[in-house]
Structure 1
């Protein structure tokens, strides 16, 4: 029975049991001699072009240290400048001088305590900026507690103006640094050498996703499959070994990250692989088979010695309230600012072509309810009738009709579309509660009639004035990509994501990406 059990353990590639006579060897063919991942013996790197000093200098493991120091320096500069401004603006006293002197070291210490200088958070994702926010809150609480318990009279403008000012200035500097880092990564530097481990299908999916988002810093150098006989290439990336070879591959190629996907390595084998990668100096990342589920919806629940991955299946009420407050505040303020622009545009439309200045249309909202959407008219009044004549010339996706040089668009309409000014009246829809500031594109009734089951999920939230589709290409996207982005938003939305999309919307509008 023991021999039978050992023959069934051939996928536990960290150990290498001998094949049982008379039974086929289910282990895949490896390049290197098999050795236990639990062995204390180190994996000695062999000299290759990948682990030479010149090759390491352009990797994130080397450049990340310098980036962290620059981030710390930028925070020092931001805190010092704001501290000096606070001291100068106030009546010069010993207290204001102390505030100016302590601003920089206290803020940097707070960011460090909030893990804002870790190489795993720098330059990627919102965690870096969240650390600045947490540091500001921590610093504010400490200052107020100090004032309360020691009776030290801390100037109020230090808390109300100084700390927010430091966060804003530090955030802007970090953002500029991040843009530069993303440009470097697009040119191939500051990347993390990555090996993907898994079966051919799962590994291919991970390779495609990582290769499509190089700004995240994962440079896929190779793939390890269950057997080197399975394939030579996976999505254009070479197969550099079997799963049993992965740790030696990491050592030889100076890889920083190993991404494990699929079911080829799991359980005890995955645990042993983490031990071996720790000795090889690489990080282990497990890509679960949960598609389009973002980190905020996932949490680890330790139970009975197990690490259970819990998936949040519905949005908590506090997030719904936060989104409603954001919608109302942004829509009211934006409506006040946009009103003169809308009025001037309306006059220009009437002078340019015959017909009303505004265009009304029935759209489908949350849970299939219908509402009337308002836009500035950008086409001639007979545009709907002429659409059938131009259907074959559509340059949009499979569902939406779009033409880069649509003859139905007026001269003023082209300008309005270029800067998305025609969408501004939809702020009234947001104020009324028909729409949200951020969400999926509001569909037509004819489009909803053709939705298959999964696309119906788009109607689970209010449609938005802007969304992931707008900051990711707009009309340049095909139908499948548009749906994928909308479903990703529906499943993972948060107030922080909405703020990020609003920030990116400004850039997309100014650039005119996909606007026609």
Structure 2
């Protein structure tokens, strides 16, 4: 285990566990620090080879990623150039493949921490490549046909995307999680760690916390050290000691009144000089990274946040996909719908379909269709079961609802009862992907935050469907719906549709 050399101070005895200094007296903290103490980072050995548990090896997929890019563009380019009888096809393909790797590297696509994450737009890299090769062709006086040469370069962006996705999957399978030490005031620690630990769809594993000030956090994480309420010259050594103790490779700073801009900047100097990665938590929440663009103006770091998609090409494409997908689904699933309708009619008295008023986009009511999964008088019996409601919000949820029929249990578990909502999608009342459509009595109890769920059309499936369905709490459901409302895109919809298949097969949370 490494050690921490702290600046000369009036600390008596040994430093804290694994190098984290013990709390100092108020007198010691108020002593002005020398320039050497403020500007010199502690000497901390960062050799991760001998420390147990250091499993992350940044950049181990870089050679494979570079090789994939080179071969992915070079080999198809060679085939296209030869098919077009272009002179010097092997040399031209080799030059193009090399230039492609150089362009990708120059634009930061092979950065060790981001290997496999296709940052930016691969099409932009490709356009830079085309321009570079056009200039090179003009300078050297080559005789390649321009149209054939451009066609030979087409596979490049597609291979870049596939290679990035493959590298991400390899990293996830081999446990390349970031070991995170969180630093902040007690309330910020509890909130940040609670949110990170409540989800598993990210690569951040919190291993310890360093609180700022005297308050005690309730996050349940190890506390290897504590920062003084005011800036002290042992801030960096305390954080580094905690990181070394728990083999953290990333420090997450949660800003607050006691962790202001100046203190953050000095911590960043010491941590970066010691080879430790740093991340600062933003107060912005529920905003996808693709909508945020950082800029620097007059020494200030600004985050430009793009507005949610409400109109434009993606909105038109979503409408086309909704209507086309619904029509195709009804056509392909017609035999299944007929068999389910017959089964519902023969196994319990009552109508085949259950029609229910729901509220859609801009709080407009519409009639939603489902296969009937409950007894015919289910609505009149709901008041009798109100005391058994298992939801803390306006929704009614009951794991063993006695009104559900035998075939209704099977239909709900497989979500087949939702298929008639394709008619609602075809009519434009709903979308294939969106928030859950609420009942009128639920909407009547919504606050301003919850009403924002109605800014888009409700969906046949959505984040709530692939994240646990009825097992989610009301606040979790609202948070997922609000994230979708503000961050949806056609690509997000396609991903959620694919994940819905797995969620339906699993059946978790469907009752």
Do the aligned residues in 2 keep the contact of 1:78 with 1:170 (CA within 8 Å)?
no
User: Given the alignment of the two structures, is residue 258 of structure 1 paired with residue 258 of structure 2, yes or no?
Assistant: no
Deviations 1:132-187 (A, max 9, x none): 56545655777899999965255499469745753564355345325414xx2xxx
* Structure 1 residue 461, shift from structure 2 partner: 2.1
Rounded Cα–Cα distance in structure 1 between residues aligned with 2:329 and 2:136: 41
User: Given the alignment of the two structures, is residue 327 of structure 1 paired with residue 319 of structure 2, yes or no?
Assistant: yes
Rounded Cα–Cα distance in structure 2 between residues aligned with 1:286 and 1:52: 23
Do the aligned residues in 1 keep the contact of 2:41 with 2:271 (CA within 8 Å)?
no
Runs of 5+ consecutive residues of structure 1 not aligned to the other structure: 1-13, 17-24, 185-189
Moved more, 102-111 or 300-309: 102-111
Moved more, 425-434 or 158-167: 158-167
- Pick one of 167, 173, 176 that aligns with 1:180: 173
Over the residues paired in the alignment, what is the CA RMSD in angstroms? 4.2
Inter-CA distance 430–146: structure 2 relative to 1 (3 Å threshold): farther
Map of 1:43-122 to 2, 5 A cutoff?
A: 43-45=42-44, 53-55=49-51, 58-60=54-56, 63-75=57-69, 105=98, 108-122=101-115
Q: Which SS does the other structure have where 1:506 is aligned? A: helix
Rounded Cα–Cα distance in structure 2 between residues aligned with 1:37 and 1:202: 31
User: Given the alignment of the two structures, is residue 203 of structure 1 paired with residue 189 of structure 2, yes or no?
Assistant: yes
Inter-CA distance 422–93: structure 2 relative to 1 (3 Å threshold): farther
Match in the other structure for 1:3 = none
Rounded Cα–Cα distance in structure 1 between residues aligned with 2:404 and 2:153: 50
Q: Which SS does the other structure have where 2:395 is aligned? A: coil
Q: Which SS does the other structure have where 2:114 is aligned? A: coil
Match in the other structure for 2:424 = 429
Match in the other structure for 2:301 = 307
Runs of 5+ consecutive residues of structure 2 not aligned to the other structure: 1-6, 10-23
Rounded Cα–Cα distance in structure 2 between residues aligned with 1:342 and 1:175: 39
Rounded Cα–Cα distance in structure 1 between residues aligned with 2:262 and 2:381: 65
Match in the other structure for 1:21 = none
Map of 1:3-402 to 2, 5 A cutoff?
A: 39-45=38-44, 53-55=49-51, 58-60=54-56, 63-75=57-69, 105=98, 108-122=101-115, 128=118, 132=122, 134-135=124-125, 152=145, 154-155=147-148, 158=151, 162-163=155-156, 166=159, 169-170=162-163, 173-174=166-167, 176-181=169-174, 184=175, 190-213=176-199, 216-227=202-213, 229-231=214-216, 234-242=219-227, 244=232, 245-252=234-241, 253=244, 255-261=248-254, 262-312=256-306, 314-315=307-308, 320-353=312-345, 354-395=349-390, 398-402=393-397
Inter-CA distance 70–513: structure 2 relative to 1 (3 Å threshold): farther
Deviations 1:329-353 (A, max 9, x none): 2440353144231443233322443
* Structure 1 residue 444, shift from structure 2 partner: 0.6
Do the aligned residues in 1 keep the contact of 2:59 with 2:113 (CA within 8 Å)?
no
Rounded Cα–Cα distance in structure 1 between residues aligned with 2:323 and 2:398: 30
Inter-CA distance 334–110: structure 2 relative to 1 (3 Å threshold): farther
Moved more, 444-453 or 261-270: 261-270
* Structure 1 residue 483, shift from structure 2 partner: 1.2
Moved more, 469-478 or 152-161: 152-161
Do the aligned residues in 2 keep the contact of 1:79 with 1:104 (CA within 8 Å)?
yes
Inter-CA distance 166–67: structure 2 relative to 1 (3 Å threshold): closer
Rounded Cα–Cα distance in structure 1 between residues aligned with 2:84 and 2:303: 55
TM-score by length of 1: 0.76
Q: Which SS does the other structure have where 1:268 is aligned? A: helix
- Pick one of 473, 477, 482 that aligns with 1:478: 473
Rounded Cα–Cα distance in structure 2 between residues aligned with 1:166 and 1:402: 46
Inter-CA distance 173–311: structure 2 relative to 1 (3 Å threshold): closer
Inter-CA distance 267–378: structure 2 relative to 1 (3 Å threshold): same
Q: Which SS does the other structure have where 1:238 is aligned? A: coil
* Structure 1 residue 396, shift from structure 2 partner: 5.3
